[in-house]
Amino acid sequence: MQHRKDGGDDVMSPTELPSEIFYNLIGEYRHTHWPDHISSDTLERMCLALSNRTVSGQLAFQYALCVLYKAIIHISRWLRSCSSQALSNCLERSRKSYITTSLRYLSDIDFTRSPSLPMIQAFLSGASLVQLLGQTSRSWFLTSLASRGLVALGYHQSTPMFLGSEERSEVRECVYWCYYMDKTLSMLLVRPSSLPDLSFNPATLVKPESKNPLSYKVKIMVQLAHVQDLYLKALAERQNDRPYPSSLVESLQVELYAVRLKILEVRPKYNNTPMLESEWDAVDFTYFSIACTALRLDSILLHYHKKRQECVQCARNALRAMQQCHTYVSSTSNTTPDSLFWTVLLYPLTPFFVIFCNIVATSDVDDLKLLKEATVTVASIGENFSFSMNLHGLLSQLIKLCSQLEVPLKQTSTTKFGEDQSNGKVPELLNNPHAVMPEESEKDQNSRLTTTFGQAAEVDANTDPQMENLSSSQFSDQDGSRRNSIWDDGLLWDFFNIQPSVEWFDAGYDSLIDGPLD
């Protein structure tokens, strides 16, 4: 690999970046700073070093990449709510220019040098940047380099007490952000994670600050990354086609239960702030997408409507959260994939496939409507980006298949997102997350529906039309014996269990960046 000392003839050197970039980032931006591996204090230090030209060589490239990455994130968030089309166009031109320059700087970083904290920060900045552009595999590779760098420096063996000091704040931020990226991308691509297990809960490294509400979101994202790590280990340790141990499935549910309680505790504080509401809608999509994916590990899904319905309900909630996430985004901000990045691109597409399978199995017209609405949402976000249009094309094909069903679609009483069906009753699981009883009879499973993750309902199989239909027509014959339902079909079950990745989506670089990227 050849490295240009000055960044190339067509790209300015790191120390020649306009000072206006630095001033914009270290001003009022502190109050909406995205608390990843580059804190506001770290960003200010890097900006001043570049502006005063006190760094050079590889360190300058590493600093400049981190600064421009934060500038790209800043502009992307600005574009969400920018109401002026003229200003949006200017911001988008700057964003494209920063992306082009950042990718040049990334190619100039010498990966063969001894690891250092700035190098790790640069790797994580590069990983986050290329993920924003849709290059999931490349993002995973850069994250693995950052993970190995942390291991080489011994930071993976650090204790919370060691990392808790102010002078080690930059190390602490790199550890929890690297953990989040590593576990999230590894689950998405179903690849081995690169960062070894930590001796403590990495979420404890995130210090929420009331002056920056986004810090609460990041803490929950790191907590969910731990759930993803457990899921990934389950996939790796599974032997042949044996069902996953019930203890493993229950441990995932307990972890998700704890995260859900935290979301319900924090979110109401920001319900009156539209831009923060969109952030928490993105958290809801993340949560329900992971919950939907994790629930598929439960082997009794095939036989029990109640368990399968929990998974389907999580899928519904994920799609509704994705739609709601974009309600607060101005229509003029569709020039950026920022919101799509934080929702669909980093998490499995399982909810879309689960909804499709439920439509095929139950002819649910409400689910078909939901899938159509989600498809329209994806199209409205990504008219200029091929990776989102490819997703739109995939969903359109699923809808086309549903429309060709010979069985008439029927109206069912699906739960509205966020609506409590329990009439004030506290579901059993909220009192005791271990209340899931594997030995529960099928009759009890079908007559008492208690959704695991924040939604609850008491259902009487004798009065609820959907449950009555399922109990009589899908689970038993006239003599009361259980008979096979459409869920017993092997092909449909295989499709239900699929975990498609966004890796096969074209990143659409040509629409994002002018000029070559090599």
C-alpha span between 428 and 422 (Å, rounded): 11
Q: Which residues contact 483 (CB under 8 A, 6 or more apart)?
A: 475, 476, 477
Q: Which residues contact 400 (CB under 8 A, 6 or more apart)?
A: none
pLDDT at 474 over 70: no
Among 67, 202, 161, which residue's Cα sits nearest to residue 121?
67
Q: Which of the four pLDDT bands, split at 50, 70 and 90, describes residue 299?
A: low
C-alpha span between 377 and 386 (Å, rounded): 15
What is the rounded average pLDDT of the residues 488-513? 55
Using one digit for the tens of pLDDT, what is the confidence trace for 281-291?
889 999 999 99
Helix (H) or strand (E) holding 119: helix 117-132
Tell me which of 187 and 441 has the higher pLDDT. 187
Cα separations in angstroms, 80 against 325, 406, 410: 11, 42, 38
Per-domain residue ranges of the chain = 1-110, 136-205
* Sign of the alpha-carbon dihedral angle for 7, 12, 16, 17: negative
Percent of the chain topping pLDDT 90: 32
Q: Which of the four pLDDT bands, split at 50, 70 and 90, describes residue 239?
A: low
Among 90, 5, 15, which residue's Cα sits nearest to residue 46?
15
What is the rounded average pLDDT of the residues 286-300? 84
pLDDT at 67: 94
pLDDT at 139: 93
- The residue behind tokens 């409400």 is 366
pLDDT at 34: 84
pLDDT at 33 over 50: yes
Using one digit for the tens of pLDDT, what is the confidence trace for 178-207?
999 999 999 888 889 999 999 889 999 998
| Axis crossing angle, helix 136-152 with helix 117-132, rounded to the nearest 10 | 170
Under 8 Å between Cβ of 67 and 12:
no
Q: Which residues contact 56 (CB under 8 A, 6 or more apart)?
A: 15
What is the rounded average pLDDT of the residues 54-65? 96
pLDDT at 319 over 60: yes
Q: What are phi and psi of 56, to 5 degrees?
A: -155, 175
pLDDT at 465 over 90: no
What is the rounded average pLDDT of the residues 270-289? 85
Q: How many CB atoms lie within 10 A of CB 322?
A: 28
Structure tokens at 467: 């449950």
Structure tokens at 517: 């990227």
Q: Which of the four pLDDT bands, split at 50, 70 and 90, describes residue 454?
A: very low
C-alpha span between 14 and 18 (Å, rounded): 10
What is the rounded average pLDDT of the residues 157-175? 88
| pTM across the whole model | 0.80
